[in-house]
Each structure stands twice: as C-alpha cells, then as structure tokens.
Amino acid sequence: MLPVVKIGEDTIPWTKTSNTFNFLKCVGDWKMFQRPSGITVCMQPISLYQNISLTEARDYCEGLGYKMTGLGTVEEAQWAFKKMNEIHPNLKQWEGFWMDGHRNCTPPLKADCQVFSWTDGYTVGNKALAAADISYHNWGDPRIYHNCLQMGRPQYGKVFNDVDCNGTDIFFGVICGYRLY
C-alpha cells in the first residue's frame, strides 16, 4: 500500500523510488487529471482578455513552458468549461478559449468526420468529443471549415466546439497543460 496526500481536490499518490518516496503535484492551482491511459496531466484555462489567434494561443502556452492542451475526457471538458466561466464570466455565445485539436480526416472531407488529432504529445482518442458541438463548417459560409477546437459557449448544452482555425474575433484565452511525470 502506498500513502496518498490530498491537496485541494487532487489526490496525490506517492511513488516509491529506491528507498525513498516522492510525490508530484501540479503547479499552483492547476488541475490534475488521471487519464484512462494511465498518464497524469495538469491543465489550466488562461484568460488573455483580447482577441487572439490560434498561433498566439499556442505560443503563449509554450512561452510559459507548457503546451496548448487537448481534453482527454468529458470530465476534463466540464471542469475546463466551469473554470473558464469563473475567470471570464461574460463570454457571449460562441466566444471562448483555444484548445489543442485538429480535424484529421481523409479527403474527400465529410460533414460527419469527428476524428481529431492532438499535438500536445499526451492527448489520445476522441472520448471528450461527447462534450463537443461538431458542425464541420461555418453555417454562414460553407467554404469555411471548422477544423480546430475551442472551449466556449456553443449551442445545445455542449461545452466545446469545432471552429475555423483562422478565427480571432471570438477567442479570449487558451487552455494550457502539461504531462506530469
């Protein structure tokens, strides 16, 4: 049996290395998630209070030493949505924060493609998409494809949405994260 420490909402397991015990926790008030794959990730939505591009969002996280993170479970998506609303409570419908994820489908692209790839190096699978409003294209202009992901206020009670990767006018933050070793 290994001892555990409870810090806030997070249960921190101790690991035995040689004849000592170590425990790891997320930085500051970042949230820890144990993913079904067995890895542990830490994440935090960060409000930048301005319109930002996907590149600016990714660069911001990397400038802090982290990654723009993907969401691996519906639980992570619900937590990130709640936290985003606490730190930026006045977002309007469709406004939100960038997150990792890019639609990865074989041409010809079809509207029902819900396969996303992740660049953060630790998100796998598409289970969190159960919390997403996937529309594939801009209803105002069907030539604009929604191949990236955003935590935001879409319709139908979902907590994140597929969006135009070139958009800037509705993005006010980013979800950063890292794998905890």
Token pair recorded at residue 2: 């290994």
**Torsions phi, psi for 80 (to 5 deg):** -60, -40
- Give the mean pLDDT of the chain: 86
Whether 20 is in a domain gets the answer no
- pLDDT the model gives residue 50: 87
User: For residue range 82-114, what is the model confidence (pLDDT) as tens digits?
Assistant: 999 999 898 888 899 999 999 887 666 666 677
- pLDDT the model gives residue 134: 81
User: For residue range 21-54, what is the model confidence (pLDDT) as tens digits?
Assistant: 666 789 999 999 999 999 999 999 999 988 999 9
Beta strands in 37-144 (DSSP E): 40-47, 67-68, 96-103, 116-117, 132-133
User: What pTM did the predictor assign?
Assistant: 0.84
Contact 118, 70 (CB under 8 A): yes
CATH of the domain at 37: 3.10.100.10
Whether 16 is in a domain gets the answer no
> Residue 148 belongs to what domain range?
30-179
Whether 111 is in a domain gets the answer yes
